[in-house]
Amino acid sequence: MTASIPSDLPCEPIDVVRIRLSQDAGATAIVSEFRLANRILAGWAAQASGDCRVDYEVTFFDGLRLAGRHALLRKGKAHASLSRVVRRLFKERAGGPAGYLVDG
């Protein structure tokens, strides 16, 4: 049984300490804002071909870390919004088990 978070609770933003991006081709970037991460991903996606993926690790101010793998291209189009991916993951897992979250 999983508990759900009531939708009437206010959402409180948590600041990001670090976002680490690692591209299959070997490039690595470390930034402190989703806006900058999205800009880097857009640049990598513009140069990508085939099935290019990026490993990411987001460390939040409260110590929580979120890590995963993100496809730069979907159906031949750039898909470079890490903030959207992270937001979707949190919404999917709200109130449920969070196996992809790592306490820091």
> Which pLDDT tens digit goes with each residue over 41-79?
888 888 877 778 899 999 998 888 989 998 887 666 666
Cβ contacts of 30 within 8 Å, gap of 6 or more: 18, 19, 20, 21
How much is the pLDDT for 25? Answer: 78
Q: Which domain holds residue 32?
A: 16-93
Does the global pTM surpass 0.85? no
* Residue 10 belongs to a domain: no
* Residue 45 belongs to a domain: yes
Cα separation, 68 vs 56, in Å, equals 6
* Residue 103 belongs to a domain: no
State the total domains in the chain: 1
Residue 96 has phi, psi (to 5 degrees) of -105, 180
* Residue 47 belongs to a domain: yes
Greatest extent of the chain over all pairs of C-alpha atoms, in Å: 44
* Residue 40 belongs to a domain: yes
For 82-104, what is each residue's pLDDT tens digit?
888 888 887 777 765 444 444 44
